[in-house]
Amino acid sequence: MIKKFIANLFGNGPARPSFGKRQEVGPQEHGIDPSLVDERAANVVHTLKEAGHEAYIVGGAVRDLLVGLRPKDFDVATSATPEQVKALFRRAFIIGRRFRIVHVVFGRGREHEVIEVSTFRAYMDNAAAEAVAGNEKTSKNELAGLKHAVDSSGRVLRDNVWGPQEEDATRRDFTINAMYYDPETQTVVDYHGGIKDAKKRVIRMIGDPLTRYREDPVRLIRAVRFVAKLSGLGFKIEPKTAKPLLECRALLADVPQSRLFDEMLKLLQTGHSLATIEQLQALGMAKGIYPLLDLVVERAEQPFVKAALQDTDRRVSEEKPVAASFLLACVLWSDVRDGWAQRLERKQHPFPALQDAIDDVFNARIGDVSGRGKLGADMREIWMMQPRFEKRVGQTPFSLVEQPRFRAAFDFMRLRAETGEVDVVLADWWQEFSQASDELREDLVAQLRQEQHRGQRRVRPPRPPAPPAGEPMPPAEGEGAEPSPEGAEAGADVPRKRRRRRRKPTGAGGAAAGEPSAPSDES
């Protein structure tokens, strides 16, 4: 009823966008390889259709399939409500508030897979929300869903009003993300020329770009992300879609900081971080999206940060896990290192000095968004382990290698070695130690101790020549002189030898002249 009311009232009005014309494209025209479709996603579609609902694979997965890529994530759109979806699957969870969706979970542990299922949404703007809310037949539940749906600037605050598929397609952002694929019939449903744009390698906004950016300013960030991700395939952003980017950038100030933080991580962790930074600079968006992202762009050419970004892109391409804590720890390391050095100059104890430097960086750069949660704890552990790598004697190496965050901290130290901040020999030693058996680890520590002994003897400076007659002899090392730096470093790991006291000449009684004799051992 509400769907018909919206369509009758606004379907042909100039303020409403065109809902497009439904086109069904068969496999011979779109050319999607069915073997690239995830079996579990196809199973979700089949289950929903068997229950009498419409269901399709949707969004970026369809876009990737069209250009011959195997999608990493599969989303499903359906006419079923979240409650109806949840009832059909054993492990399904309704999440979200602004945008309620269902996560259908397959498998367990690290091998688990999540298929995200969303209900077809109605296209909502201020006029539509007010019209539906003013209708006498609108239920209380529907009114609750509409309350504060759109603010005065046009930003959509709530998006839980269900609607037909053609409206769901219109409320999506870009044409290449608004296609629906049925894996059973191998048909693509397209309302806005997404297939045509995919073939032309064009990223184009559905409807008026300025209005769509105001509805959800995060689309500004998504536009940059898609351009960076697809630029390698020849995709370019349409000029009309790109033009309002700078004009609308100020709208991001109204977006919750936590959401901007998450969007920043998506920019940096989708395997195209360096390309993303290039696009931000090319589009004039290098500053003003999020302060921490501004810092990443600013430091991207620093050898250590650039190596971290390259390493992240490489791991994503190899389908290895990546952690936001590692990348952010690399970006902020220079702040921590400099703050630590300043405190050491003021004679503060090393470990409290490092902790204080870390606290200052969290307060200045991250704040309360995520810096006090697990991400912040992981970053702190990575940083706090760095000085411990320098100590390779006693039980320190054995305890350090058992720490949960050892691998991340070691990878961090390895990048430091690759960029010349620490000796590469240190990284090689820890690489061998971490992969060795217990017996071999004992041998590695013993061998290092022997090398330090030999090194101590080898680098000890020669005794200075004897002074001219009449001048006092300078004290030898160990007899009042300051030890050499090399000796101090080695001596920290080697027990100090006890120096025997030289006896003075004794008289007939066995004691020094003029002193009482000491008792013998036998007395």
C-alpha–C-alpha distance, residues 262 and 56, integer Å: 27
Query: The dihedral of CA 20, 22, 25, 31: what is its sign?
Result: positive
In DSSP notation, 29-42 reads HH---GGGS-HHHH
Q: Are 245 and 223 in contact (CB under 8 A)?
A: yes
Question: CB neighbours of 253 closer than 8 A, spacing ≥ 6?
Answer: none
| Residue 151 zone, left/alpha/beta (φ > 0; ψ -120 to 50; rest) | beta
Active site residue 197: no
Point out the catalytic residue in the list 73, 335, 359, 493.
73
Distances (CA, A) of 288 to 244, 293, 515: 15, 9, 85
Q: How far apart are CA 316 and CA 267, in angstroms?
A: 13
Name the active-site residue from 38, 64, 75, 411: 75
Measured distance CA(385)–CA(414) in Å, rounded? 13
What is the rounded distance in angstroms from the CA atom of residue 131 to the CA atom of residue 362?
Answer: 47
Question: Is 378 labeled as catalytic in the residue annotation?
Answer: no
Instruction: Determine the Cα angle at 251 with ends 250 and 257, to 5°.
Output: 100
Collapsed DSSP state (helix, strand, coil) of residue 497? coil
Residues 6+ apart with CB under 8 A from 188: 24, 25, 30, 32, 62, 66, 179, 180, 181, 182, 195
What residues have CB less than 8 Å from 310, skipping those under 6 apart?
274
Catalytic residue among 168, 173, 311, 378: 173
Rounded to the nearest 10 degrees, the angle between the axes of helix 438-459 and helix 424-435 is 150
Whether 125 is a known active-site residue: answer no
Residue 117's alpha-carbon distances to 35, 38, 75, 191, 216, in angstroms, are 21, 14, 6, 20, 21
Residues with catalytic function: 73, 75, 173
